[in-house]
Structure 1
Amino acid sequence: MASKQTVHMNQGQGEISYARNSSYQNAEQNRMKPLIEEAIIDLCSNTNTLLHGKMVIADLGCSSGPNALALVSTAVMAIHCRCLHLQQPPLEVCVLLNDLPDNDFSTVVKSLVTLRQSNEPVVMTGIIPGSFYERLFTSGSLNLVCSSCSLHWLSKVPEVLIRDHIPAYDIDEQARRERLPMVHEAYAHQFKTDFTHFLKLRAKELAPSGRMIVSVIGRPSDGSTFEFFHIWEVIAQTLSIMVSEGVIDKEKFDSFYVPMYGPSSEEMRAIIQEEGSFSIREMQHFGDVMDEFARIGKQYWSLEGNLENMLAKDTMVAVSLTKA
């Protein structure tokens, strides 16, 4: 996650911890493996990479638990296999993991010990706390950047909504429908600002011809122009039920905003092309990964109604980029 606000996954290994409730994120990471393996093949064919004999990989928004090393482990294994295939000396690999300072890095550090025990390739590791909406690495120092299920977290809530006291989700259905275009536009603008900034930062940190693989929870491309992010809607509906039961004060609910937005593939493509630092190698959409989210949602939230139908409107968008 990346918001500068105090937002992070539940720590530890308890029942409600991220480590025990992150199976749908794992499913998405598994779908990203071919994109990462393709990127490694490309990088291992690069003369500069072979000349320097090393590769630096960063995972932005690694979180904690069993998924923290999933992407970088895929990359390390792909490097090992590619070096064997090319019958060349193993590359030295540096793995850097990033998330917000409040992330449960204690469990991540323990997991890194296992990764470093491998001798081929030689793996050095590091933890980089901070928001990925800030500079994190030195110029031209990275070869591969990965980020899974993180970029839908915004750097902040759209200021216009807070300033004008516009609830992100109004309990009154008619008022909610009237305000939806305005709320959607505010969140879409914030995502464009954040994602553009993210691309500019990573372009500075990546080496020439560096690769980046990212995925976000988004919306289908054929959705309504003002269709909102439905996972947000699930959260809002849960809280609205708590308001009706008197658990949460309505005034607090109206002033509650989740710094979260799910873009369509067209939005992401347009932002990438307009920013200009990267070329798109491949863009994919996955819908079935949300089935696991729906199952967990039903189990823990016990929401009434068509939860599956709501979540079916969300999808995963994965994109493979090359630094232009």
Structure 2
Amino acid sequence: MDSKQRVHMNQGQGETSYARNSSIQSARQNRMKPLIEAAIAELCSNASTLLRGKMVVADLGCSSGPNALALVSIAIEATHNHFLQLQQPPPGLCVLLNDLPDNDFNVVVKSLLGLQQTNEPICVTGIVPGSFYQRLFPSGSLHLVCASNSLHWLSKAPEDLRINHISAYDTNEHVRRERFPVVTEAYARQFKEDFTLFLELRAKELVPGGRMVISLAGRRSVELITETSHVWGTAAQILGVMASEGIIDKAKLDSFYIPAYGPSEEELREIIQEEGSFSIIEMQVHDPISGMDIALLTPNMIANTLRAAFEPIIVQHFGEVMDEFVRTAEKQFSLQRNSQLQRSKDPRVMLVVSLAGA
């Protein structure tokens, strides 16, 4: 991750923390459960993938709060159930949690105690700070890698946009639409570079026959590409309204880039196949809010979810503007709630992929 942009979710347990505003992400993790269980079943059935009676599971981009242990807990339970049915002792488990150094690991470490206290399977835990766009683990050491709601974050914003002073977002709709293909292509190139590197690194760290189950924000291929189809689109729109109302400096908006990109299903599939280290076992496309109680998705809830995810990077660039950001977001979401745009199909999706080492 570019050192100039310190990307992490809001820390702590307060009202604006990620821990208190991550129910949407939790619903998305639940969609990964069947694929994680299937991957565990496959690994446990193949004696050659288990090294000396142990299994190592890593969650990359674990964040903090109640979601931090969700994926590894699914893997632990699936492993326990598999060997319980066979009436055999389960392998020892090693669970490793990774995120960027600014993540709130204090909260994560405390929650890990619960995993360590389980009797079966025996579970050893560890924290591995660092970017998943670099080597994190020894060669051939991991059996299962999980990553949820994290791989749409790029190592950096596209440098060619910065160098050529091409804004990702503009308050003038005509200018924005005219520029958008250039912006989209730059983000797509950066995502391809980053995700290809991610696959190469994990292929080295996984045991032969190792598995990965990942989810990330994406977009519908059949939809016209607009700013609302991007991960950063909604936050950028809110900031655009704030710039047009004089709350933030338009020049600062022109130089602001959120390092995140959501690919289409075809785009993601093509990158995986071209890189060649993994075969696709299954790829699912989900509506981003499926499985959630729509009544809970109030303007205030959505605004605070955005705040929990984007506050650190926004404050770093614009200063302390988040209370106004939330007020502006709530107003915009209230206006849009009953519009035709809101009744139409969301251009954004969640992509969930199960991969096996080729």
TM-score range, shorter chain: over 0.9
What TM-score, normalized to structure 2? 0.86
Q: Which residue of 2 aligns with 1:39?
A: 39
Shift of the alpha carbon at 1:50? Answer: 4.5
Q: Which residue of 1 aligns with 2:87?
A: 87
Asked if the contact 2:56/2:144 (under 8 Å) is kept, the reply is yes
Shift of the alpha carbon at 1:246? Answer: 1.8
For residue 262 of structure 1, give the secondary structure of its aligned residue in structure 2: coil
Asked if the contact 1:209/1:322 (under 8 Å) is kept, the reply is yes
Structure 2 residue 252 is matched with structure 1 residue 247 = no
Distance 1:32 1:114 in 2: 22
Q: Which residue of 2 aligns with 1:315?
A: 349
Q: Which residue of 2 aligns with 1:204?
A: 204
Asked if the contact 1:184/1:226 (under 8 Å) is kept, the reply is no
Asked if the contact 1:210/1:323 (under 8 Å) is kept, the reply is yes
- Aligned amino acid, residue 46 of structure 2: N
What TM-score, normalized to structure 1? 0.95
- Aligned amino acid, residue 297 of structure 1: I
Q: Which residue of 2 aligns with 1:187?
A: 187
- The count of corresponding residues between Structure 1 and Structure 2 is 323
What is the 5 A alignment of 1:130-149?
130-149=130-149
Shift of the alpha carbon at 1:220? Answer: 1.1
Distance 1:7 1:227 in 2: 21
Asked if the contact 1:3/1:131 (under 8 Å) is kept, the reply is no
Shift of the alpha carbon at 1:216? Answer: 0.4
Asked if the contact 2:282/2:355 (under 8 Å) is kept, the reply is yes
Q: Which runs of 5+ in 1 are unaligned?
A: none
What is the 5 A alignment of 1:134-283?
134-224=134-224, 229-283=229-283
Asked if the contact 1:11/1:17 (under 8 Å) is kept, the reply is yes
Structure with the bigger RCO (C-alpha within 8 Å, sep 6+) is: 2
Measured against aligned partners, the alpha-carbon deviations of 1:162-197 in whole angstroms (never above 9, x if no partner) come to: 011000011111111111110000000000000000
Shift of the alpha carbon at 1:232? Answer: 1.6
For residue 18 of structure 1, give the secondary structure of its aligned residue in structure 2: coil
Of 42-51 and 213-222, the range deviating more from structure 2: 42-51
Of 264-273 and 241-250, the range deviating more from structure 2: 241-250
For residue 355 of structure 2, give the secondary structure of its aligned residue in structure 1: strand
Shift of the alpha carbon at 1:234? Answer: 1.0
Distance 1:19 1:232 in 2: 21
Q: Which residue of 1 aligns with 2:52?
A: 52
Shift of the alpha carbon at 1:244? Answer: 2.0
Q: Which residue of 2 aligns with 1:75?
A: 75
Asked if the contact 1:148/1:214 (under 8 Å) is kept, the reply is yes
Asked if the contact 2:199/2:275 (under 8 Å) is kept, the reply is yes
Asked if the contact 1:280/1:322 (under 8 Å) is kept, the reply is yes
Segments ≥4 residues shifted beyond 4 Å: 225-228, 290-294
Of 78-87 and 222-231, the range deviating more from structure 2: 222-231
Distance 1:194 1:51 in 2: 30
Structure 2 residue 302 is matched with structure 1 residue 297 = yes
Q: Which runs of 5+ in 2 are unaligned?
A: 305-325
Of 220-229 and 121-130, the range deviating more from structure 2: 220-229
Asked if the contact 1:230/1:310 (under 8 Å) is kept, the reply is no
Distance 1:229 1:187 in 2: 13
For residue 52 of structure 1, give the secondary structure of its aligned residue in structure 2: coil
After superposition, the Cα gap between the structure-2 partners of 1:244 and 1:298, relative to the gap in structure 1 and judged at 3 Å, is: same
Shift of the alpha carbon at 1:226? Answer: 6.6
After superposition, the Cα gap between the structure-2 partners of 1:156 and 1:22, relative to the gap in structure 1 and judged at 3 Å, is: same
Asked if the contact 1:83/1:90 (under 8 Å) is kept, the reply is yes
Of 45-54 and 129-138, the range deviating more from structure 2: 45-54
Distance 1:58 1:311 in 2: 34
After superposition, the Cα gap between the structure-2 partners of 1:25 and 1:80, relative to the gap in structure 1 and judged at 3 Å, is: same
Measured against aligned partners, the alpha-carbon deviations of 1:274-310 in whole angstroms (never above 9, x if no partner) come to: 0000000000011052666964326752113357358
Measured against aligned partners, the alpha-carbon deviations of 1:219-247 in whole angstroms (never above 9, x if no partner) come to: 01222367763442211111112112222
- Aligned amino acid, residue 253 of structure 2: F
Shift of the alpha carbon at 1:104? Answer: 0.2
Structure 2 residue 18 is matched with structure 1 residue 13 = no
Instruction: State the Cα RMSD in Å.
Output: 1.9
Measured against aligned partners, the alpha-carbon deviations of 1:54-97 in whole angstroms (never above 9, x if no partner) come to: 10000000000000000000000000000111222211000000
Distance 1:311 1:18 in 2: 27
Distance 1:51 1:146 in 2: 19
Shift of the alpha carbon at 1:49? Answer: 3.7
After superposition, the Cα gap between the structure-2 partners of 1:90 and 1:185, relative to the gap in structure 1 and judged at 3 Å, is: same
Shift of the alpha carbon at 1:313? Answer: 1.1
Distance 1:229 1:189 in 2: 17
Measured against aligned partners, the alpha-carbon deviations of 1:8-39 in whole angstroms (never above 9, x if no partner) come to: 10000111100000001100111100000000
Structure 2 residue 98 is matched with structure 1 residue 64 = no
